[in-house]
Structure 1
């Protein structure tokens, strides 16, 4: 159980490793240049042109930018899915007000039950799980909407529109679930870590004749790169802190239907 909980929050562990590993590597490079037996040989490597750093640095920056874009894109898609769900719920509730009273009340109640089940599913999304109750309520809503009474009360076009909105609800919920189950890809981040190490080494080599200058340069790079990578990593799941996607739009939509 403890291992599974750690696995759910693996991105925090990767963020910790990114910060600690980067600064440990800075210290290790400085030790090699200033105190180790290899210090004299390392000073003999001076002469590498400073623009050389740009080649590896650009590759590192692009890799980090692509990984960050994947993370922000996941958050944007999750947020959009939530607002689309709220709009679909609101649309069906609005159409339900224009049909006969008995079936209207039943449909209104089912929509509210579905919305409440969806909101209650949020803690499970943070655990990369799903709610069986939400799935059951989605099925019950679809079964209700295909009943002949709905066609008689809302007309064929009205029923088709409500069915389309119900299908949109299911698609957006499926999208949320898939985004909540996204894991950190270790290979991508390992590649970025390797490029970060090469960038640190290239910065150090440019200052090979001066260990303190190399320390300052590599430390500045570490201060820029490590926290940035950590920020991207800790936001790997859009349904976990620190930047959780809120169910407030869905909660507000079902509140209008009460």
Structure 2
């Protein structure tokens, strides 16, 4: 993994830091512009903007942030659902294989366990937006076993077909996990949100421009609400990274593996 790839795997932390530092810089810039800049006198002439004006821009900012948060949490929920569906498919394969002859049943259990362990071991790579070829190999081995004539003769065509459907479900849900792990922050979306946040700060300052202490209080309160919220959303950009990483525990639990 190249240094560039390594940085891109954690780019959302950099955006989170930028959200905090950028908001602080915007608040300080507004205070400087109103009190110490050469334009301070001209800016004082902007008095008279009605307080309800803030609501228009504030609603636009809030909706933008809400949509971005929904995208992030939706990805987290999809990743969790994918893991539980994989676990359910593994559990179903074991149940369907209970009536197989002992040697074949043991081979199926071993293949299911190997796939579950390989998938769980893939988690650190998913956190780096990569994937493990070992999981692909174990999935192909499991599919090859289920598609074999021995399973068809021992379980029947109907049960074998159901087993193959569960194996395809495993592959599909893993592909979904990989796709979700490789989703990057969209800079344009967050740039738009940052612009709306700055304009909202300006509108708060303009409404109270004749009272510097009120401007400072209002802008700081807005910053305390906006910056941590944006940071919380940003640091959850990859559902397989901390602090709210999806866990592979259901996969191991489905096979009885510790």
- What TM-score do you get using the length of structure 1 for normalisation? 0.97
1:3, CA displacement in angstroms?
3.3
Residue 158 of structure 1 aligns with which residue? 159
Residue 55 of structure 2 aligns with which residue? 54
1:5, CA displacement in angstroms?
2.0
Q: Is the 8 A contact 1:43 1:210 kept in 2?
A: no
1:4, CA displacement in angstroms?
2.8
SS in 2 for 1:109: helix
SS in 2 for 1:243: coil
Matched, 1:10 2:11: yes
Residue 191 of structure 1 aligns with which residue? 192
Residue 232 of structure 1 aligns with which residue? 233
Matched, 1:91 2:92: yes
1:10, CA displacement in angstroms?
0.6
1:221, CA displacement in angstroms?
0.4
Query: Counterparts of 1:105 and 1:4 in 2: how far apart (Å)?
Result: 41
Question: For 1:75-86, what aligned pairs fall within 5 Å after superposition?
Answer: 75-86=76-87
1:71, CA displacement in angstroms?
0.5
Query: Counterparts of 1:99 and 1:155 in 2: how far apart (Å)?
Result: 10
Can you list the C-alpha shifts for 1:84-138, whole angstroms capped at 9, x where unaligned? 1011000101111111122111111111111111111111100100110100111
Residue 72 of structure 2 aligns with which residue? 71
Residue 149 of structure 2 aligns with which residue? 148
Can you list the C-alpha shifts for 1:125-180, whole angstroms capped at 9, x where unaligned? 00100110100111111111111111111111100111111111001000000000
Matched, 1:207 2:211: no
SS in 1 for 2:46: coil
Residue 28 of structure 1 aligns with which residue? 29
Q: Is the 8 A contact 1:125 1:239 kept in 2?
A: yes
- What TM-score do you get using the length of structure 2 for normalisation? 0.97
1:2, CA displacement in angstroms?
3.3
Query: Counterparts of 1:231 and 1:162 in 2: how far apart (Å)?
Result: 41
What RMSD over aligned residues (CA atoms) do the two structures have, in Å? 1.1
Runs of 4+ in structure 1 over 4 Å off? none
Specify every segment of 5 or more residues in structure 1 that has no aligned partner in the other structure, as ranges. none
Query: Counterparts of 1:141 and 1:23 in 2: how far apart (Å)?
Result: 54
Question: For 1:115-154, what aligned pairs fall within 5 Å after superposition?
Answer: 115-154=116-155
Can you list the C-alpha shifts for 1:4-36, whole angstroms capped at 9, x where unaligned? 322211101100000010011001101111111
Query: Counterparts of 1:238 and 1:4 in 2: how far apart (Å)?
Result: 18
Residue 223 of structure 1 aligns with which residue? 224
Residue 114 of structure 2 aligns with which residue? 113
SS in 2 for 1:197: helix
Aligned residues: 257
